[in-house]
Structure 1
Amino acid sequence: MPRFDTVIKNGKVVTASDITDCWIGIKDEKIHSLAAQFDEEDLIGAKIIDAEGAYVMPGGIDGHVHLCQDLKTGPHGLGGECADDFATGSLSSLCGGTTTILTFATQTRSIEDKSLLGVVERYNARAEKTGSYVDYGYHIIIVRDDEDMLEEELPRLRDEWGVTSCKVFMTYESQRLKDRELLDVMVAARKNGITTMVHAENGDMIEWLTDKLESKGMFAPYYHALSRPPLVEGEATNRAIAMSELVQNPILFVHVGSTLGMDNVRKAQTQGLPIYAETCPQYLNLTWDDLRKFHSPTCFENSKMICSPPPPPDSSDREALYVGLHNGTFTIFSSDHCPFRYDSPTGKPSGILEHPDSMEDESFVAPTTLEEAHQCDKHALADLTDRKDGAFRFIPNGIPGVETRMPLLYTGGLLEGRITAQKFVELTSTNPAKLYGLYPRKGTIQPGSDADLVIWHPQDKFKPFQLTNSQLHHNVDYTPYEGQTISNWPRYVFIRGQLSYSEGEVLGRLRDGKYLKRGSSALSKGLPGKKDPRKVASWLYD
């Protein structure tokens, strides 16, 4: 019997701590051995992959991916249907070097979604309907604080499903929790060892600013940025940190896009508080200018760039955010892949279709049901988007990015010297594995770990190229990073020892991906010692 199924030779093997010139032996889906070189008899019967001196890294783990979600909040309920299901989203993930994705089972306020277990069961059916190219797990989005739900169902989600992370919102009328509701969820999460993820934007400030902008006739997509200035995130992160400290619950801020938010996180970390943060490619590669790049600031095509929080006002934040990646302020680097099509009435154009003023006197009849929306005449819809500005409040917030996440950071961070190769691995793989209860099965290269691996091209043999959407594998008709220079791309990608992507060719199969039951976070819970009663309600847990 062969000693190894596959051997990777001549690679620079990178972990979060080291870079080593060595060979990797893979057996039965696991990393079996690391050695300076294997003997000839060790290679008998094994598939040999020559890394040619390139980096070999753990497969990427993207802890923030939206697939198969319905986020319809407009008057007609049209907008916010994710363009990617598990088939297309996981394919896109694989081709960009990400071998594990964590997606969101979303509770709503309808009576049907009162049970978190029911929410996860129904969401899991969507994943099983198609299967996945890569391994996957779920977060649960919580939008209510029912005592029985928190007391009885969170422990069962943890034990039966391995769902050990929840997300809460401080904005969006249909999803946000009041402060006392946030505290209820935080306390329940703490008791059950569940990581609390926080979307931190002040919802009242956003709604007030939106009303004021609209009163001045400022409806176009660009004004989305003005409705969410960085102070909105700065206030919300500061408030969430105070709540976290009060109840001693670790939290992770998702998609931090401003230096105001980042500085609040850094200050809390310096005080020893268990506060973590994530940032995303859009905050390093886009600015407010990208919200007015198409033809004019009022052109509806700018809706393609709308996400929340929006990118920073200008490029001055970029270097500061890179410093946050370098110095550990940001624990993880995720895509926040939230895909909406531009040619679909349940995507970005709902910003027009949901806006009564835009549709007044139009011969094109706006669909009033999802069935009608899916039968919509795309030629008529394209004509409408060419002529109308719509209203930014109805445009679904989100952009695609799961496939471009790692190549963008490799190009702008690693190759530019802003972060090291070890830090790249820490941000894109190791820390997500630790934060979300997957380490050391995932997120590192050591004997016994899953053989999820990415081999990059030797840098001196790779020809940089200008990115186009046609090169990507998502089910979205645009990329916000169109035209950006990419200076390396995954050459080989292994999923649990199987070569699934090779030199631009997909070798994996749709149901290769497995569901992952996760444990609790392996990251620090904060400094030990006596808590200041002026800040901490330690008696809650007596």
Structure 2
Amino acid sequence: MESKFDLVVVNGNVVTASDISTCCIGIKDGKIRALADSFTGDELKGAEVIDAQGAYVMPGGIDAHVHLCQDLETGPHGLGGECADNFETGSRSAAAGGTTTIITFATQTRKGEDRSLLKVVEAYNTRAEETGSYVDYGFHIIIVRNDADILENEMPILMNDWGISSIKLFLTYKTQCLTDSQLLDVMFAARKNAITTMIHAENGDMIEWLTGSVENKLEQKGMVAPFYHALSRPPIVEGEATNRAIALAQLIQSPILFVHVGSVLGAANLRRAQTMGLPIYAETCPQYFHLTWNDLKRFHSPTCFENSKMICSPPPPLTVSDHEDLFVGLANGTFTIYSSDHCPFRYDHPHGKLSGVLEHKPSMEGEIEHQHEGKELQGLLRRKQGAFRFYSQWDPWCGDTIAFAIYWGTGKGSDFTTEICRYGMYPRKGALMPGSDADLVIWHPDETFKSFHLTNSMLHHNVDYTPYEGTEFSNWPRYTILRGKIIWANGEIVGKVRDGKYVKRGPSLLSQGSPRADRDPRRVASWLYE
């Protein structure tokens, strides 16, 4: 007789959306089939059994903000921006950290060959299929053009055929930012197709003006070390951009989701809009709870170049006190998404952090261009400072995101879980209920786990550093289970690189808007939809 379950988890403190209870989980054919106080001997017959030993059992992590296989021309010579992680290495790191689904970014450019969004997605999908993935994955798409025919004809196909129910728009970076009218074009098309609009909210003109080499600006004053990256992006840069995007969204009744919100000012703007009944949502990331501006001057080498390991955009909060204010945003629902913004660049690679030196003409004076390899590159890092404007402005976070959320810094254990229904996957993903994918992360029992200090060698990405070297963790995933298959167990990857499958997502719940939003045509353009 066929066994009732393939895998059973017993003696777990199971975390669901509503409560925490001690129960057992029965899994069959990759799906959760039952949650019960106990199973009989006949029900357990033939099943593999994991004893959670009283540890927390949670839905597998869903990291909805991951950059893999993206090549970005960040400098005048195009040296920067080669992602260190592909789908194999990035997903391996995710699995080791308790994440079972990632959503990555297919990136449109302004080149003629990238005019078609469908071709952009097809090319990006080829990269994923070339290596395979340890965990399930889906795509967002970054849009940098507002071609009317593409938006009209291809967005429905992205939603219906690919299940891509989210796009990302930029208010900064010359190669990616859109004007207000262009933003409205794309947001309007997204709303009509039940697609979430994600916003990177920084005022690019403010940043350029503060950074510029003309009189009294940062570069003219020689203020180019990594720390000054933060000074080029004070909180008001995010504050203005969030306010502007909220106004645009309110005008056309378009729900939006702000990504990687890092300032108390930005969070306050979002909370105010939410209180007004606007469908405004937000994501935040671990770096904004555990780093401050002081981390951008942590190392005191002659060049201070090593501080580039701490650069992220937007920059981390000014002080530790800001962390507490941002934690309030987690508690009161200002933030409903917690993601990594994993964007991996190597430290000593010409297409990584080192581009900050190689692209900076003053640093390269007297150096023979293009003749620095291997140890010579490391020597260049010790001699030259570079400039923050040319650094790769992102860092690797993927493998440790869930551990940060649950067991480091929050002090709340399992009280914080990630809400992911905004991206059209609930309840297939992110839920422990019958019918959901059997994606689980099982922690070690707190009383038996010995805390440890993280080193980059413990992670499974393809990056040569972690911003959290030496950080103490009080727990780490013991098992990661993907659709009923164990892919990480007791410190070892036990899954295979093609265990992960592409996830075709449903319409975004954001597209439904808010019933409390003002629809008076005298104040907003609600007549657009009549």
Task: Tell me the TM-score normalized by structure 2.
Answer: 0.97
Please state how far the C-alpha of 1:528 moved relative to its aligned partner: 4.6
Q: Select which of 352, 358, 362 maps to 1:353.
A: 358
Q: Select which of 435, 458, 475 maps to 1:471.
A: 458
Structure 2 match to 1:202: 203
Contact 1:66–1:339 (CA under 8 A) maintained in structure 2 = yes
Structure 1 match to 2:381: 385
Structure 2 match to 1:442: 429
Please state how far the C-alpha of 1:17 moved relative to its aligned partner: 1.3
Structure 2 match to 1:462: 449
Question: In the TM superposition, what whole-angstrom CA distance separates every residue of 1:96-121 from its partner, at most 9, and x where no partner exists?
Answer: 00000000000000001000000000
Is structure 2 residue 279 aligned with structure 1 residue 274? yes
Please state how far the C-alpha of 1:217 moved relative to its aligned partner: 1.1
2:279 alignment partner AA: P
Partner Cα separation in structure 1 for residue 244 and residue 360 of structure 2: 33
2:360 alignment partner AA: H
Is structure 2 residue 524 aligned with structure 1 residue 531? no
Q: 3-state DSSP class of the match of 1:206?
A: helix
Residue range with higher mean Cα deviation, 514-523 or 494-503: 514-523
Structure 1 match to 2:230: 225
Structure 2 match to 1:522: 509
2:149 alignment partner AA: D
Contact 1:6–1:47 (CA under 8 A) maintained in structure 2 = yes
Residue range with higher mean Cα deviation, 201-210 or 527-536: 527-536
Contact 1:292–1:298 (CA under 8 A) maintained in structure 2 = no
Partner Cα separation in structure 1 for residue 147 and residue 302 of structure 2: 44
Please state how far the C-alpha of 1:534 moved relative to its aligned partner: 4.4
Structure 2 match to 1:164: 165
Residue range with higher mean Cα deviation, 462-471 or 91-100: 462-471
Residues 82-481 of structure 1: pairs in structure 2 closer than 5 A: 82-211=83-212, 212-295=217-300, 298-363=303-368, 365-366=369-370, 377-414=373-410, 416-417=411-412, 421-422=414-415, 424-425=416-417, 427=418, 431-432=419-420, 434-481=421-468
Q: 3-state DSSP class of the match of 1:63?
A: strand
Contact 1:322–1:413 (CA under 8 A) maintained in structure 2 = no
Specify every segment of 5 or more residues in structure 1 that has no aligned partner in the other structure, as ranges.
Answer: 368-375
Q: 3-state DSSP class of the match of 1:64?
A: strand
Question: In the TM superposition, what whole-angstrom CA distance separates every residue of 1:138-183 from its partner, at most 9, and x where no partner exists?
Answer: 0000001010111111111111111110000000000000011001
Length, aligned pairs only: 524
Contact 2:33–2:435 (CA under 8 A) maintained in structure 1 = yes
Q: 3-state DSSP class of the match of 2:199?
A: strand
Contact 2:303–2:381 (CA under 8 A) maintained in structure 1 = no
Residue range with higher mean Cα deviation, 524-533 or 278-287: 524-533
Contact 2:278–2:517 (CA under 8 A) maintained in structure 1 = no
Residues 298 and 227 from structure 1, CA distance in 2 versus in 1: closer, same or farther, beyond 3 angstroms?
Answer: farther
Partner Cα separation in structure 2 for residue 54 and residue 497 of structure 1: 18
Contact 2:55–2:442 (CA under 8 A) maintained in structure 1 = yes
Contact 1:7–1:43 (CA under 8 A) maintained in structure 2 = yes
Contact 1:335–1:401 (CA under 8 A) maintained in structure 2 = yes
Q: 3-state DSSP class of the match of 2:398?
A: coil
Q: Select which of 477, 482, 505 maps to 1:495.
A: 482
Contact 1:143–1:177 (CA under 8 A) maintained in structure 2 = yes
Specify every segment of 5 or more residues in structure 2 that has no aligned partner in the other structure, as ranges.
Answer: none
Partner Cα separation in structure 2 for residue 537 and residue 442 of structure 1: 35
Partner Cα separation in structure 2 for residue 303 and residue 206 of structure 1: 18
Contact 1:221–1:291 (CA under 8 A) maintained in structure 2 = yes
Partner Cα separation in structure 1 for residue 302 and residue 5 of structure 2: 58
Q: 3-state DSSP class of the match of 1:70?
A: coil
Please state how far the C-alpha of 1:529 moved relative to its aligned partner: 6.8
Contact 1:288–1:314 (CA under 8 A) maintained in structure 2 = yes
Please state how far the C-alpha of 1:472 moved relative to its aligned partner: 0.4
